[in-house]
Amino acid sequence: MANILIVGAGDVGGRAARLLAASGHAVHALCRHPRQWPGVTDLVADVTRSDTLRLPPDLDVVITALSPGESGLAAYQRVYVEGTRALQQALQGQQLRHQFWVSSTSVYGESAGEWIDEQSPARPVTDTAAALLAAEALVREAPWPATIVRFGGLYGPGRHWLLRWVREGRPVQSDPPSWSNRLHVEDAAALLVHLVTQALAGETLPPLLLGVDDAPTPQHEVLAWLAQQMGLPAPSGESRPGAGQGKRIANHALHACGYPLRYPDFRTGYAQVLADAGDQ
């Protein structure tokens, strides 16, 4: 049994906390409001206020999955950068076996349909993405082994914005295609648990892993398939000469670490979402 701290117990962090607790680990969930999950000890704190960060001793693993709660550079700087700095300071004196920090594939600024993998340099084109990269650097500078997990667009139960897009009949860019990369939230949480299990077993983990499924797909194709499943007209495609095309993200490290995707593409994942939402 390991002593595990989850910092930021939102959707992904909360799912990981419950899975790890069910496996018999001592799990502490640090968040601003108590969660009261079976087997999980609440730590009510705010990473932006260092005076609240009273952490349990003898931690083995830390998973940090922060969320700013609002958009904009100021929020990203406060939560991701300053919050991560405060957390790393609060962890001083611990003998961690590994820490995991959840980031985003938005740190890659490519927008012409290029392929990205773990070897691609991160060149953010927005201030908020640059803030994420700065926070990642703080984790890498800490004295413990660390893995940065950059997730693509997360979807799953309760995350229905593409379903609303179809229902509202809003048009979508189709020429040139706008590539999208995603991961089901159940896979996101289970992947973190898989990595924790490997770390506790003494296996060597990569410093960076891109959390996406096997199938980057143009957004208009995803929406057309969803519309078909929902019995609705497909959103009209629009030609937008010169518009950005996004990027295609490969998941080499995910497969190399042996994680078996439950939802390897948007069709398998959104079939579950549609069933959950009562649209199938």
* Beta carbons of 214 and 261 less than 8 angstroms apart: yes
Residue 242 burial (CB count, 10 A): 5
Express each pLDDT in 61-80 by its tens digit: 999 999 988 889 999 999 99
Is 80 a member of any domain? yes
* Rounded Cα gap, residues 195 and 204, in angstroms: 10
Is 278 a member of any domain? no
Residue 150: per-residue pLDDT: 98
Is 223 a member of any domain? no
The list of the chain residues with pLDDT below 70 reads 279-280
Q: Is the pTM of this model over 0.95?
A: yes
Residue 39: per-residue pLDDT: 94
Report the number of distinct structural domains present in the chain.
1
* Rounded Cα gap, residues 137 and 135, in angstroms: 5
Its domain, for residue 56, covers: 3-154+183-212+249-263
Longest CA–CA separation in the chain, Å: 59
Is 232 a member of any domain? no
Is 270 a member of any domain? no
Is 58 a member of any domain? yes
Is 205 a member of any domain? yes
Residue 35: per-residue pLDDT: 87
Q: Give the CATH number of the domain where residue 97 resides.
A: 3.40.50.720
Is 228 a member of any domain? no
Sign for the CA dihedral angle at 13, 19, 20, 21 comes to positive
Residue 276: per-residue pLDDT: 86
Residue 279: per-residue pLDDT: 60
Residue 238: per-residue pLDDT: 96
Residue 62: per-residue pLDDT: 98
